[in-house]
Amino acid sequence: MRSKLFIPASRPELFPKALSSQADSLSFDLEDAVAEEGKDAARLTLGVALASPEFAASCKILIVRVNALSTSHFTADLTAVIHPRLDLLNLPKVESADDIRVAVAALASLEQARGITRPIQLLANIESPRGLRLAAEIACADPRVVGLQIGFADLFEPFGIDRSDAAAVRQIQLAVRLAAGEAGIWAYDAAYGAIKDPEGFKAEALAARRLGFLGKTCIHPSQIPLANEVFRPAEEEIAFAHRVVEAADHTTAGTFSLEGRMIDAPFIRRARAIVEIARQMAAGKR
**Residues 239, 269: one domain?**
yes
> Which residue among 187, 212, 230 closes a domain?
230
- Rounded Cα–Cα distance for residues 99 and 65 (Å): 15
- For 259, left (φ over 0), alpha (ψ -120 to 50), or beta? left
**Residues 58, 164: one domain?**
yes
> Which residue among 214, 230, 246 closes a domain?
230
**Residues 180, 251: one domain?**
no
pTM of the entire structure? 0.83
**Residues 132, 271: one domain?**
no
**Residues 154, 226: one domain?**
yes
On average, the pLDDT of the chain sits at 92
**Residues 59, 126: one domain?**
yes
pLDDT of the residue at 117? 87
**Residues 133, 241: one domain?**
no
Q: Where in the sequence is the domain holding 243, given as residue range(s)? A: 235-282
Nearest partner of 266 among 173, 210, 183, 188, judged by Cα = 183
Nearest partner of 147 among 172, 121, 129, judged by Cα = 121
Instruction: Count the domains in the chain.
Output: 2
**Residues 99, 221: one domain?**
yes
**Residues 266, 205: one domain?**
no
Q: Name the pairing type of β-strands 261-263 and 256-258.
A: antiparallel
pLDDT (tens digit per residue) in 120-136: 999 999 999 999 999 99
pLDDT of the residue at 107? 96
pLDDT of the residue at 55? 92
CATH of the domain at 87: 3.20.20.60
**Residues 63, 158: one domain?**
yes
**Residues 191, 71: one domain?**
yes
**Residues 124, 192: one domain?**
yes
pLDDT (tens digit per residue) in 74-121: 999 999 999 999 999 999 999 999 999 999 999 999 999 999 988 899
